[in-house]
Structure 1
Amino acid sequence: MEKKFNCGLIMPISAIDGCSMEHWSEVQEIIKEALEDTDFAVKIVSDASDVGIIQKRIVQNIYDNEMVICDVSGKNPNVMFELGMRLAFDKPTIIIKDTETNYSFDTSPIEHLEYPRDLHYASIKLFKKTLKSKVSATFEAAKKDNYTTFLGHFGEFKVAAIDSKEVSKEDFVLESINDLRDDILTLNRKINSSIDVPVIFSSNNKYSRNSIDEYISHFGLKNHFTLDELGDFHGEPFLHMVESYIHEEVPENIASKPRHQHSIRNQFIASLSRTLDKIKELQQ
């Protein structure tokens, strides 16, 4: 059955409040099964076929999806934040929760559909029927001019919106590449910040962060490479710089070990990432 509309799903996806990741996967399947015979395609709001920064994708889907179901079970902070955005857009939203989760003060005026945390078959069967009916009724009610999910009950507000613009295919591809590059740099920083640095880099000043920063500066000036060129972590200038450092500065018994080579390379990535980030901040 071809789906005409999108139903975004905001819910926990990792372990929280004593419930495992597998538990939330099962809840997700229950929601999908409930809307199986409807015109709605159910997807987690972070899912998308295009390339881009995940935060952008989430906000865009929260705004664009014709319907959103939000499971506030466990009161996951990210879930509550995303729910707040959807309510600010004042678009059709259905809140669900398990029987073990208390109501939140801010959203308690909105009806919550409940399901048993133990996912008992008979109760879940009734929940799926109720959810399907609620989605259909809410979608039809939202077609009326005076419809409001939340904000309208407290007065008149100008509803938030997301500006859109038309761009050429080339511009879209370039923007997507830049978004992906920024995402990779952020991921690299997170990975490198969690890496345990071998003893040789902390016990000997020769291999300290300062010495690597100085080597990058010296290597760039000597070989006429820009920071952008050295910041391409798969490019020839960067790889040549790391190899030169290992050859010139690292004892042979250490340099020959792959795990130390990998650690040195990560030190260079971390150092260059910090420098490039500082430059970006100054340019803003």
Structure 2
Amino acid sequence: MVDILAVLGNMLETIINALPGILAAIIVLIIGYFVGSLVGKAVNKIVEKVGIERTFDQSMVGRTFKSSGLDLSNLIGGIVKAFIIILSIVLAIQILNIGGTFGAYLSTIADYLPRLLGGILIIILGTVFVDFLANFIGKMIRPMFPENKGEIADMLKNLLFIGLIAFILLLALDTMLLSGSTVYPLILGFVIIGAGISLTDGLIKSITDDHVEFKEVAGYAKFMLYAIFLIIGAGAIFATFPGVTDVIANISWAFAVAFGIILIPIGYTIAKKMVKQENKAD
């Protein structure tokens, strides 16, 4: 009985000693929540009044946000609110000063939360900045090309957008400590595929505008180029997986043979049309 009373006494003493820290942590959390809410709403109103949201809504990313039901001012205000609340959570965990394995886990989570929010913030604000920069440069380079070659300017703008988005993703993943040997090839593969699609669309349109005789085979050319960039991108994505690269290499050889066979009738048709046009001209 004496031992039980001693244990209960020690538990009660531990709880009493921990009460000030628990109350302080709760107060910090409550203050953090209310301050975060107030500052978040203030930032929301500021973004709305400055006019950034109207300009953003006209961009490609802005239209995507709007179609998804997202609002830039609410998003930025929510991020600011979340940042302040996370800071209050980190401070509350430090005040509690919990020991043992559970305390170590809590400290690890508290240390990682700012990195997680920072990575999300980099992705969101980075995407907004990249979209603005790509559109700005696209408008600058468009006068450098003839009016009927606007697709080349769009192609260059899209390539810049894809490259910068890849950089933003890598920076965000590094911040969140999620980068590694698997992530880099994955991003590289998708960049190759995206850039290949943009290049193919721009080049095929430019060629068909100048040479009408190629319109009939433009679909075949697009398909072949899409497939080539898809194979290259897949090779980059699975480069770290043993055995997969050999499979992709075999597929590439088979595709190259099929491409060569398909080119024979296409080349014959184009040559035949060109001869007919020359005969008509004579």
TM-score by length of 2: 0.24
Q: Give 1 or 2: higher helix fraction.
A: 2
The alignment's TM-score, normalised by the length of structure 1, stands at: 0.24
Compare the two structures and name the one with the higher strand fraction: 1
